[in-house]
Structure 1
């Protein structure tokens, strides 16, 4: 999984600075060869990047970050899971080769890759799909609530929804 993340980070373009991940998809066992990252744009400035390494595949969608995000409040946030420190967020992104400045800022945004890696340590899975609803900032406590194969991650608001199979 880490090699796929690094491949996606190597495909990074400078004009994508400040964009946020809207979705991450990961599958074990669906790739057959190591190939270059495939990058496609939509008319709305949504960028899709896909990488295949060995027998795994990962795809991300990037969206422009407006800074005016409003998340859904959750009455029952679940159980405390983790609080990512600023240093933890910055170090993870640098080690991965993630060049997005939002992970190195004064109040860094936790990388979608970092959330996926942390979820992988919690439970092993063959497929993962994460929809990101609201940025998760370093220092914010993260709470998880599980319902079947879905995991909801919240701070004060719903930040992400993951489906793990």
Structure 2
């Protein structure tokens, strides 16, 4: 999964600075995953960026950043999952070739790719779909609530909803 993320980061354009990921879809096939990757982007205000490899594909939707209110998630938050440090986020985005300034800011936004990788860690899966509702900033504790194959990442607000299949 990491190599296809790097392929998507390699397509980054300066005019996309400050955009945030709204959705990530990942699917892997049988056998070893690997490139070469065919990467494309389409759209103006909302961008659809896709990468296809021999045995995997990933598609992300990028939106202009908005400082809007997040959707509160009522009820139990779930178990404490992670708190991402500024250093972790900076190092991850640099290792991926992710040039979006929101991941290198003084209080960076945790990369959607970093969240996807952390969610996938230790899980056997073929598909992963994440809808991002609100940015998660470094230093914020994120709780993970799980029901079957659906996961919710919650800080003070709902940050993401993921389905792992």
**TM-score (norm: length of structure 2):** 0.93
Offset at residue 29 of structure 1 (A) = 1.1
Q: For residue 51 of structure 2, what is the aligned residue in structure 1? A: 51
Q: CA RMSD in A?
A: 1.7
Q: For residue 99 of structure 1, what is the aligned residue in structure 2? A: 99
- Moved runs in structure 1, 4+ residues, more than 4 A? 30-33
Alignment deviations for residues 36-92 of structure 1 (CA, whole Å, 9 cap, x no partner): 2111105xx000000012201000000000222433243311000110000001100
The count of aligned residue pairs is: 163
Matches for 1:33-52 after TM superposition, within 5 Å: 34-41=36-43, 45-52=45-52
Partners of 2:98 and 2:14 in 1: CA distance = 11
Whether the aligned pair in 1 keeps the contact of 2:4 and 2:37 (CA below 8 Å) is: no
Whether the aligned pair in 1 keeps the contact of 2:8 and 2:50 (CA below 8 Å) is: yes
* Unaligned 5+ runs, structure 2: none
Partners of 1:13 and 1:23 in 2: CA distance = 19
Whether the aligned pair in 2 keeps the contact of 1:3 and 1:53 (CA below 8 Å) is: no
Structure 2 SS opposite 1:68: coil
Partners of 2:136 and 2:91 in 1: CA distance = 16
Whether the aligned pair in 2 keeps the contact of 1:4 and 1:58 (CA below 8 Å) is: yes
Matches for 1:40-119 after TM superposition, within 5 Å: 40-41=42-43, 45-119=45-119
Structure 1 SS opposite 2:113: helix
Structure 2 SS opposite 1:136: coil
